[in-house]
């Protein structure tokens, strides 16, 4: 969802960082994206290319580190893997799950010059 706004957010973080860290070019950007964050990786790559055109990150490579989805099953009282936000517990089939991980959308690090 809304990958264009996210790509703009990424560029903004890069530009802020370029002032603090004094770099002029970014060659690679590593993102951590949770499986449950609702981010379409292909759409994100496309939007990132569009948004960074003529910026200090023009042509930069986008590397996505996928983080697994996890939830707390209220029936089993344990952490279980989740692949969808409305998923069911793989142990007991309950939908009484509280998402505990996998919604991250973070800029992790940059390779800069």
Partner 1 sequence: MCTTCGCGAGEVKIDGEHAHHEHDHVHADGTTHNHDHDHDHEHAAGAAHAHPHAHAHQHSYVPAHAHAPGVSNKRMVQIEQDILSKNNAYAAENRQHLAERGIFTLNLVSSPGSGKTTLLVKTIEMLKGGQRVAVIEGDQQTSQDAERIRATGAPAIQINTGKGCHLDAHMVGHAMGKLELSDDSLLMIENVGNLVCPAAFDLGEAYKVVILSVTEGEDKPIKYPDMFRAARLMLMNKCDLLPHLTFSVPRAIEFARRVNPRIEVIEVSATTGQGMDAWLAWIETGAAAARGQRQDTVDSLQRRIAELEGQLAARSS
Sequential DSSP letters for 30-97: EEEEETTS---HHHHHHHHHHHTTTSTTTT-EEEEEEE-EEEEETTTTEEEEESSTT---TTT----E
- The Cα–Cα gap between 77 and 80 comes to 9
- Which residues contact partner 1 (rule: CB under 8 A)? 1-2, 4-6, 8-21, 23-25, 27, 31, 38, 51-52, 54-56, 58, 74, 84-86, 95-99, 104-113
Least separation in angstroms between residue 66's CB and partner 1 is 15
Q: Which residues pair with 38 in a beta bridge?
A: none
Closer of 35 and 52 to partner 1 (Cβ): 52
Least separation in angstroms between residue 56's CB and partner 1 is 5
Least separation in angstroms between residue 89's CB and partner 1 is 12
Closer of 10 and 80 to partner 1 (Cβ): 10
């Amino acid at each position: 969802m809304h990958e264009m706004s996210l790509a703009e957010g990424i560029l903004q973080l890069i530009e802020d960082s370029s002032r603090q860290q004094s770099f002029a070019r970014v060659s690679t950007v590593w993102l951590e994206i949770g499986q449950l964050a609702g981010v379409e990786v292909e759409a994100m790559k496309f939007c990132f290319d569009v948004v960074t055109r003529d910026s200090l990150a023009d042509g930069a490579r986008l590397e996505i580190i996928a983080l697994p989805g996890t939830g707390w099953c209220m029936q089993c009282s344990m952490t279980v893997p989740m692949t969808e936000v409305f998923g069911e517990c793989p142990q007991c089939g309950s939908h009484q799950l509280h998402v505990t991980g996998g919604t991250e959308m973070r800029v992790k690090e940059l390779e800069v010059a």
